[in-house]
Structures are given as structure tokens and as C-alpha cells.
A and B are shown apart, each in its own frame.
Chain A
Amino acid sequence: MSAIDLSEAEARALLQRTLKHSRAEHCEVSLRASARGNVRTARNAVSTAGLNEDHVITVTSRFGRRSASASGNQLDDRTLERTVRAAEELARLAPEDPEWVAPLGPQTYTAVPAAWSDATARLSPADRVGLTAPGLATAKERGCLAASYLEDNRSVQARLSSTGLFGYHRSTAAEYSVTMRTTDDTGSGSAAVDQNDVTRLDAAAAARVATEKAVASRERHELAPGTYPVILEPLAAAELVSLLMFALGARSADEGRSPFSKSGGTPIGEALFSDAVSLRSEPADPDVPGTPWASDGRPHAAQTWIEHGVLRTLHGSRYWSGKKGVELPPPPSRYRMDGGRGTLEELIEGTERAVLVTRLWYIRSVDPRTLLHTGLTRDGTFLVENGRIVHAVNNFRFNESPIAMLQDVQALSAPVRADGSMLPAMRLGKFTFTSVSDAV
């Protein structure tokens, strides 16, 4: 039996069938089912490809302040009962949790219709090859080697608790990323696109962009490390802005171990960033549909996190909300950063001098006090002067904080979808490169 095609009524019936085995004071059962297909290429040929389908039933049982979870991926009655018993046995043995909060009752969840696409759900192995083939053809025409990855998935999530909470959500996603390298190994370019609806996924265009960058980056000029104005393309920006979103936790700020800690409170209401910086989230955003609920069952709702540079909201758990007596939303599943009206090309045209960054790589925290991170540029780093790209430059290692970089925002393009969120390309006044990377 597969759970991937279960309707809302069928999913509810499966969860009820599991829940009836419960002897705990409270029990919640959740289902996650997914079917994924992929094609991976390297050196202009398919390297691996596959299909997999799986489902997981997770049971969380509570006795007073004790709770535990068990999960399994077999849906026969005997296994479901065994999973419930295992959760209960673990819960009885678990110590009491001083941060226990009462289980949620029924919730109202926002419908997210844009999360599902029939076209994505119907993709076949031949369709995947069809989406992949143009990139290989472009690579061969331009003397490049393509390494690409196409993945699509459809998934079903449902949850049901003994206190009446129920939710059902299904979604699809398709993503294509490609790195083109020139056959002489002197140039590299990349691009990536993702959509819930595969008919909006332009893999061929992404392959053309990556190829252009690879060819344009063959003749690299040396540029010394230092602090430069930069233009981060949306994919590069997404990597760093996501780190900022994650760091907006209320508890660590209140506990004095976050860049947002402040003696006597938090800097909510303070202008911490450039006026151009606004970050929001909306589960039903048609461009980047999110999930209706957070992992703890709370509904996601529209939130403004940063508005014209002013910190508006931090996220937090139900326990921390109760302890501090404030309503803290859960962290968002997707977000949107406001931008301007123009394209990336127009942003470049308005730039006197900056380093243009296509993609960042291997980003790791260096100092949690300042949110300083290190990482590298890759697959297309260029110098922009007087409104045009003048030549490719070497790659760099950076040491930079997303907080500091968003304190000097000079210009933004219109936002586009990048890595599951909506972000503009951004020109920043200062970005610190600490050494040169010889990598191509």
C-alpha cells in the first residue's frame, strides 16, 4: 500500500486507524509521504537517475509532561500498533519536560493551492530526460561539459491528534540546477531554478545562462582580496538572507547569546538595516507557497519580520511565548524580500564598480556574536565597471555577516524566485573578501 495518493478523507482514515491504538493521555499521529524522481548528468551524459517512494508515520505520545515519538514506514495494522506502543513505552521512560506546553486543539490552516501542480505530479522518466536534454545540447554546442540535476517530487502531509487537531496538505516541486565547465577547465558557470509547477520551470534558459557565464569566465583577471561593493545575484543573496531569517530567534536573543541580544530587552522596533530591507512571509504566497503549519502544529500566518530596515518580529516556540507573555510566531517556511522594479541587467547598468557574484559556496558560521560567516564565490565572479561587466575575476573567500551587509544596501532588482524564496539581486556597499581562491 502506498500513501502518496491518499485523499484528505483517506489520510484522515489512516491516521484515525493509527490513533485508535493509543492509550496515552494525548497522542498525535502524522503522515509524510513522498514520491521523487531525478536525473543527474555529468560530462554531458546521465550519471545516475532514479525513482523512490516512501511514507513515514510518526506517533507522538504524551503522559503528563513526558512525551516521545516513534516512527515507521510500514502501514499494516500490526506495524501501526507497534509504532504506537513504542512511542508510549518511550514516553513513559522519558523524563518530565519542564518546558512542556498543553497540546494544541483544532486549528484553522490557510489553504495553499499554489503548492500543487498536476503537471509536476505526472512527470515520467521520459519527461525528465526531455527537461534535461536541452542543457546537454547547449553544452555541446558551446564547448562545455554540463553537470546538472533535475528533481521533482509530490508529497502529502497530514496530522491528527486526540484533541481534534487535523491538517492535510499536498505539494509538488521541481528543481533544475546546472554547472557548465568549459572543456579546457578554465571557465565555470552555474544557474538554478525551482518551481512548484514544472510548466513554469525554464531549464533550458537556466542552461543557457550557465553556459554564458562559463564561457565569459575563461579569461580571469586577478583581483586582490579586500572590501568591495558587490552585486549578489538572487541565489547568492538567498544563502545569506536565509541565515539571517534563522537567526531571528527570540529565545537566544533574550538569553543574551544572539546578535539580537540587547541589555534589558530586544531591539524590536529599531532600525538595524538599510531602509530598503523588508522581509515578509505568507504561507499562501502564489510565487513561493509555503506550508500551512509549523512543525509544532501552529498555523503559519502572514508576518512582517523586517520593515524598511526596522526589526518587527522575532520567532519563537510556544513555550517561550508563554514564558515571555508575548505572541511569537514560528519561523517561516518561505519568505519574500521586497525589491525594486528593474532586472539584474538594469542593476548592473546602474553600477559604477562592484564585484558581481553568481553563487556562494560552503558557508559556515564563524562567530555567532556577529553572525559572521565564511564561504566562497564560485561559478562566475565578474568585475562590473561603469555599468557593464568588464571581465571575470578570480574567486574569493569571504568573511562577512548578513547583518552587516544589509546595513549598506545601495540598490535592489525586482525579486525573483531563488532557492524556494523570493529575493532581489542586491548591490551592497561593502562586502569583505579575505583571500583568493584558485578554484575554477
Chain B
Amino acid sequence: MDRRTFVAHTGLAAGALWLPVAAASHRRDPGADRKSLADAALNAARQGGASYADVRISLYLTQSLGGRERAIQTVSGAESYGAGVRVLVGGAWGFAATADVTTDGLVGAARQAVAVARANAALQSEPVQLAPTRGYGEVTWRTPVRRDPFAMPVKEKAEYLVSVGDAALSAGASFVSFDLDQVSDQKYFASTDGSYIDQAFTRINPGFSVTVVDREKGFAERANLARPVAMGWEYLEGREQDGIVTPAGTLVWGASYDMVADARRAAADAKEKLSAKGVEAGTWDLVLDPSHLWLTIHESVGHPLELDRVLGYEANYAGTSFITLDKLKSRAFQYGSPLVNFVADRTQPGSLAAAGWDDDGIRTGQWHLVKDGVLVNLEAARDQAHILGLEAPQASSFAESWRDVAFQRMPNVSLQPGKGSLTPAQMVAGVERGILISGDGSYSIDQQRYNFQFGGQVFHEIRNGKVVGMLKDVAYQANTQAFWNKVTGICGKKDYRLGGSFYDGKGQPSQVSPVSHGCCTTRVDGVTVLNTARRTA
């Protein structure tokens, strides 16, 4: 039974509608209440001596379903409602958050934030500088969603996931686990600049892992090849035209995703992997599918170009960067080959970091980070814009929840398509000895973003322009700058696809942020490949 047949048999129209936990509450659409609450906090901050203040009142809804084989084991919904107040007093930041979303609660949080800022000012060596921005008045933005996953029967979603498990097991998987996370974040931002920004974000994150066990050969795994998006359930409608077959025959996904079909193929891939040839360690040319390359972009481009890392603000946790302000100012730092263009963009539909305004109240936009291979810009939050001498601040600020202070976070960073119309098949035809990699796997990079190692999900050997079979135990290691300077081909824009993560971690206390990375199939020559197999214990 395929997914469409399965769904047709479930009688979904009669299914009860799951009301989100907050649906019956006034908090689902608090309207003008939030403005007056925000004003009370902003006024209290001003009275406490704040030269600037902002408040975020957020209702964060999540729903998660998970299970294994043909059973759903976890169904959970969560609601978190609260407010965070950030103030600038004496040139120092202070922040306090409360779940008590009343006038008293917000005024109390504003006063606490002022007390924190005053205590911190004693250790401040230079005052925080905020780039000027205009107030936007009362404005709104929301993720474009055709089918709200929070307004769907949970039964339909559960049955869809069960069909994913069924597809994998029917195709020969020994085990399969699956999950689906959905987020609705209603975020209201107000600042002493005169902005009152009401935004609603919807995100969806499907995933699975298939295992095939063989008593003789051991076991092999394969995970999903599609990534989370800022869309509704329409993403999982899996339109046929959005399924793309790579030159190795691997089925990958574009604007929508058929998780059931992917699970079926995953079982077949895992079985094949058990008997696949172990890769010969050495130097290979790589052809990297977007289902894989997004993560390499994230780690080796998105992160090192964050200004707070460049300056040392993340030295104690996420690390610093091999990029320096001198390298930026030289306008001669060759980050990649001349084919390589990276653009930061928080406006792309479906991308996880898409927003109308960031959490500093700055209007989102696009800007080049690397142009024709040369480093031309970085990612900065409002209180860092002066360091780059920017005329207008970038929108690169984000807070995970009302509990968390906003700070510089990665916008969507994407590799621009090649200028021609090269297809993946044409690219493979030009490779003498290479490996085609699909899906993201193991990933690791040093704290200054020089040395990285990536695995994948599915690996195929290319010999004399043809795919000749599956490989296993593949991981590649490289230096970031050397790697991107070895890019010798980027497919045309018809091949452009998004990958991304719900869980990009940074900061102390650690916060996660959602972010996407787009790219086309890309060729990188002469990369060191390891064989990761070891004897068993």
C-alpha cells in the first residue's frame, strides 16, 4: 500500500480536529492586549533609566509525534507563553524573562532587566552601540502556509507516519524509527524605536532512520533525504514532480517531500549498503547533491562568517573563526573559486530563517557574503553593525524563545546556482574518478572552522563518467578555504534545492535557531576521503 492509498482508507474527513492547546485561549490571538502590555514594560524600562528597550511576547506551540516500526509511541503537544524584556542601561545590556504575562509581570521583568544591566555596567569596558533604525509602527508578517499542521487531525498525521514505517518494513527494513515535529511561534516584538511587529512562524520537521540487520554482515542505516522547512503540511504532499532522481538513481526531493517513498527507498539503500564496497581511502573528486551539501555550507560558510565569532564573542563555546576583519577589508580573500557566490537571505519562501523582521526589529533582506569567490561581507546583529561600517543594519538577530535573549544568528546562507544550465547527469559525465554523495550524515568542524569532516547517507562511485556502484564507510576531510577553492562546477538553477536544520546551536545559555541553505549539485575536485570502517569491539 503506498501513501496515497493508505490515506484514502483512513476516513480522514471524519477525524476529530485536534485543537492546539492554546486554541481555546484568548492568548491564541491576544490582539491589542500585547501592545498595552509591551508599552507597560517599555515605560518601566525608560523610567529605570534605559536608553533603549525591547520586549518580545511569544506564544510557542509545538506538537511532536514519534514511533517505530508500525506503531506511534509518542504524541505530545506543548504550549509556552511568556515575555522577555531587554534593556540598555549605562551602555550595558540587561535581560529578564517571565511566564507571568500581565502588566505586573512585565513591569517586574523590566525592572529586573534594569537591575541586571546596572550590575553588568560595572564590568563593561565599552558601551553597546546600536545602529539607528526607524520604527515600523504596527506591522505583521506570517509564514505562507496552505495547510496548517496545527489545524489538522492528529490521527491523519499519525497514520501518515505509520505508513512511513510500513513502507520501510515492507521493503525489507529490520527496524525503522520516525518522527514529526511541528512548531507554531507567534512572536510580538515592540521597542522604544516605535515598532510593534506581530509575526507568526510555522515550521515542520519530518525524519526517520531505517536499519537493516544481517547476521553475517552486521547492520546498516539510512536516514531521510529531505530536510525541515518553513511550510505547512503541504510540504508532505510529495508531488511527483518534486521527486528528483540523481545520476546514481537515488530519489531526492525538491519543493515537497514524499516521506513514504523515501522510507521505501531507504530500506533498499540500507540493504545494498550492507554488501557495498568499502571506499578506497585517498583523493577523490566529489559530486555533492544538495541533500548533502547544505550541511557543509552551514558549517564551513554560515558559521565562520558570523561577526560575533570573528570578534571572539563565541570563543568559550561555539568557537571563533579563521576569518578576520582584515581579510574582509582586503577585498581580496579568496574564500572559494570564482564560481562560488554565497548570499545571506531571510526572505526566501520556505526557508527556515524567513521572517519579515528579525528579533532586533530590523527589516529582513539579502546580501552577498562571497562574490565571485571573494569574501565581501559578514553576518551582523544590530549592535555589531558599526563594526562593519554598515549604512543599514542587517537582520541577523534571533532568540529561540521568550526566555532567551536575542543575539546574532545565522541567516539562510545559500550557494548561488551556476551561470549555465549544467545538469547533475552532465556533471557526472565529466568525472573520471569520483564519489556522488547524497544525504547528510556525520559532521564535525573545528572551533575556527578550518578543518572539517563530513559523512553522508548514500555514496556512489563514479568511473569514467558513469556511476558504477554503491560505496560505504565514506567520510571526507578538508580545510574550508581549500575545499571551496576546489569547486569546479555548479549545476544550473533548475537543480536548486533547500536543506536546513531546526537545531542550529550557539550561545550560552545555548539556543537553537532554524536555518536553511540552498544550493545545486556541486563538483569539488581532489578531496581527501577516509575509509571509516574499524574492527568491531
Contact = CB atoms under 8 A, between A and B. Distances in A.
Interface stretch (A298-306, A345-353, A359-367): A359-367
Contacts of A365: 442
Contacts of A54: 80, 82, 97, 99, 403
Interface string B49-69: 000000000000000000000
Interface residues of A, number: 104
Contacts of A141: none
B269 interface: no
Given A97-B72, A366-B455, A376-B444, A50 B97 contact: yes
Interface in A363-388: 363-372, 374-376, 378-379
B532 A45 contact: no
B304 to A, nearest CB: 11
A56 B80 contact: yes
Interface in B18-58: 18-22, 24-25
Interface stretch (A111-119, A277-285, A432-440): A432-440
B154 A90 contact: yes
A129 B99 contact: no
Contacts of A148: 316
B79 A376 contact: no
Interface residues of B, number: 97
Nearest to A263: B215
Contacts, number: 295
B97 A52 contact: yes
> Which of A86, A97, A378, A403 is most buried by chain B, counting CB atoms within 10 A of its CB?
A86
Contact of A43 (B313, B475, B533): B313
Interface stretch (A70-78, A160-168, A197-205, A417-425): A70-78
Contacts of A172: none
B316 A70 contact: no
A129 B77 contact: no
Contacts of B25: 79, 82
Contacts of A36: 509
B147 to A, nearest CB: 18
B95 A50 contact: yes
A211 interface: no
Contacts of A437: 446, 448, 450-451
B75 interface: yes
Interface in A28-83: 36, 38-56, 58, 67-74, 79, 82-83
A288 interface: no
B139 interface: no
A404 B537 CA distance: 7
A121 B72 CA distance: 40
> Which of A41, A369, A395, A440 is most buried by chain B, counting CB atoms within 10 A of its CB?
A369
B73 to A, nearest CB: 5
B48 to A, nearest CB: 14
B317 interface: yes
Contacts of A378: 319, 446-447
B136 interface: no
Nearest to A257: B219
A353 B400 CA distance: 46
B316 A149 contact: yes
Contact of A89 (B19, B442, B448): B19
A366 B475 CA distance: 8
Contacts of B443: 364
B509 A151 contact: yes
A178 interface: yes
Given A74-B79, A87-B77, A147-B312, 20 more contacts: A43-B312, A50-B113, A51-B112, A54-B80, A68-B76, A72-B79, A91-B75, A94-B158, A95-B71, A95-B158, A125-B120, A178-B316, A256-B174, A257-B175, A366-B475, A366-B532, A370-B533, A376-B447, A378-B447, A437-B450
29 contacts: A1-B100, A42-B316, A44-B125, A46-B120, A50-B96, A52-B84, A52-B404, A53-B97, A54-B403, A69-B74, A70-B79, A71-B79, A73-B99, A86-B21, A93-B18, A94-B75, A145-B315, A147-B317, A148-B316, A151-B508, A177-B317, A181-B312, A362-B445, A366-B442, A376-B445, A397-B444, A437-B450, A437-B451, A438-B446
Interface of B: 15-16, 18-22, 24-25, 71-82, 84, 92-100, 112-113, 115-117, 119-120, 122-126, 153-155, 158-159, 162, 174-175, 211, 213, 215, 218-219, 221, 311-317, 319-320, 322, 403-405, 407, 442-451, 453, 455, 473, 475, 477, 479, 508-509, 528, 530, 532-537
The 10 A-B pairs at the shortest CB distance, nearest first, are namely A50-B95, A147-B315, A439-B448, A147-B316, A68-B75, A52-B97, A125-B119, A437-B451, A149-B508, A439-B446
